[in-house]
Amino acid sequence: MRAFERFLKYAAYPTMSDETTGTTPSTAKQLVLAGVLRDELVELGLADAVVDGFGYVYATLEANCEGEHNAIGLIAHMDTSSEASDENIRTQIVEYRGGDILLSEEKGIYMRVADYPYLERFVGQSLITSDGTTLIGADDKAGIAEIMTALEIIIKENIPHGKISVAFTPDEEIGEGADHFSLDTLGADYAYTVDGGFLGELEYENFNAASAVVTVHGVSIHPGSAKDKMKNAARIASEFDSLLPEGEIPERTEGYEGFHHLLSIEGGCELARLAYIIRDHDMTAFLEKKAEFERVAALINERYGEGTLELVLRDSYFNMREIIEKNMFTVDRAKAAMAKLGIAPIVTPIRGGTDGARLSFMGLPCPNLSTGGANFHSRFEFVSVEAMDRMSELLVQIVKDVASEPRVEVKV
């Protein structure tokens, strides 16, 4: 079975995570796909496949060759973003010949080159899209499908390989994919997450990340007698946001530039709440951004009275580069495998994060590989059928190369 065929099957399962539930997995529907994946792994021959009590899927393909080689991990996540619907996904395959893509004739929804100029690099390829009303879940079910297909190829062709450890995680999209990850169960020396974009992307730098929750306590009173008495929480919340650096937002940054991003704002006169994420590749700049939030919070409390505004900052993950640079052989091996297949490496910083960031700091160096998709977290998400085939080939090549090289000690 080709990778895209598996992906189309997985895409039909809704698996959106939810940061408000406080459970792991955060949504029960992730467990449905987890069970499907476990059963498929068993059918492939990975008899120890299991779904643990937190919804993580683990499996092992034991080595079939002699010698001391690194045990390699292949990891992808099952959940999808809450930024677009995961219900009633209607996938379609578009033979792309260039120009805008009509996603839904009924609703008049197009994916336009003016909005996504990189569509031109996919001319001549078959693209899987939705009808423009939902995401398709290529982030990261494409990665799962590519790993599964690579395993099938390795087993059917009896390709020499060292130990291959597989894990599919829940709740990556809400930053909790590594919360209950068991390195002992995985049993790998190092790993790759398959969770990137364009074919060839190879990433080992990511944002340092934090969340910020701002709660504003107001005083409500009839507007007819409000003078010198009312304290409008919603207005103060808007004032807080206006005092943050206006250029440091996603819409105005790129590359290594960090940002703060207002995820939501809600409330009224009595109570208001803002939720942010804070991101920067550079640790010093990251700390400065968090300090700016604290400075503005103190200024608001000075203006309106102590206790008016409460700020809760929480670190999420850090830049994996610190760990990967000690273990650059993980990157070099991926580059070498790409070269053998004629895939041009695109080494780029992640303007986001993966499970691999936290796993790297837990002792499992974990660079990120591409899936062949784009426009993640969006109704305009797509993935290339041909790129998915190439990614499965790449994973097989990496595994073959590991089996031909001596074991390298990991430094953490």
CA distance 401 to 161: 8
Respond yes or no: is residue 302 known to be catalytic: no
Cα–chain center distance at 377: 9
CA angle 14, 8, 117 (to 5 degrees): 95
pLDDT of the residue at 166: 98
pLDDT of the residue at 36: 98
Domain 208-317, CATH 3.30.70.360 — does that match?
Answer: yes
Q: How many CB atoms neighbour CB 292 within 10 A?
A: 16
Q: Which of 12, 357, 35 is nearest to 168 (CA)?
A: 35
The model's pTM is 0.90
Contact assessment for residue 149 and residue 10, using Cβ atoms and an 8 Å cutoff:
no
Domain 3-206+319-403, CATH 2.30.40.10 — does that match?
Answer: no
Contact assessment for residue 278 and residue 211, using Cβ atoms and an 8 Å cutoff:
yes
Q: Which amino acid is at 130?
A: S
CA distance 363 to 181: 12
Write out the chain's pLDDT in tens, 412 residues. 999 999 999 999 999 999 899 999 999 999 999 999 999 999 999 999 999 999 999 999 999 999 999 999 999 999 999 999 999 999 999 999 999 999 999 999 999 999 999 999 999 999 999 999 999 999 999 999 999 999 999 999 999 999 999 999 999 999 899 999 999 999 999 999 999 999 999 999 999 999 999 999 999 999 999 898 999 999 999 999 999 999 999 999 999 999 999 999 999 999 999 999 999 999 999 999 999 999 999 999 999 999 999 999 999 889 999 999 999 999 999 999 999 999 999 998 988 878 999 999 999 999 999 999 999 999 999 999 999 999 999 999 999 999 999 999 999 8
Give the strand pairing for 190-194 and 72-77.
parallel
pLDDT of the residue at 144: 98
Query: In the chain, what are the domain boundaries?
Result: 3-206+319-403, 208-317
383: tokens are 């993935």
- Bridge partners of residue 315, in order along the sequence: 210
Quick one: which H or E segment has residue 331? helix 329-341
Instruction: Select which of 172, 280, 355, 381 is catalytic.
Output: 172
CA distance 186 to 203: 22
Respond yes or no: is residue 79 known to be catalytic: yes
Quick one: which H or E segment has residue 241? helix 233-242
pLDDT of the residue at 352: 81
Quick one: which H or E segment has residue 289? helix 283-304
CA distance 208 to 203: 14
Instruction: Select which of 79, 176, 195, 393 is catalytic.
Output: 79
Q: Which of 402, 357, 375, 346 is nearest to 142 (CA)?
A: 375
Burial of 145 (0-12, 13-18, 19+ CB in 10 A): buried
Contact assessment for residue 365 and residue 190, using Cβ atoms and an 8 Å cutoff:
yes
| Strand, coil or helix: 147 | helix
50: tokens are 């299991």
pLDDT of the residue at 353: 79
Backbone angles phi, psi at 227, to 5 degrees: -55, 130
pLDDT of the residue at 342: 98
Q: In what order do the strands lie in the sheet with 271-280?
A: 259-267, 271-280, 208-217, 309-317
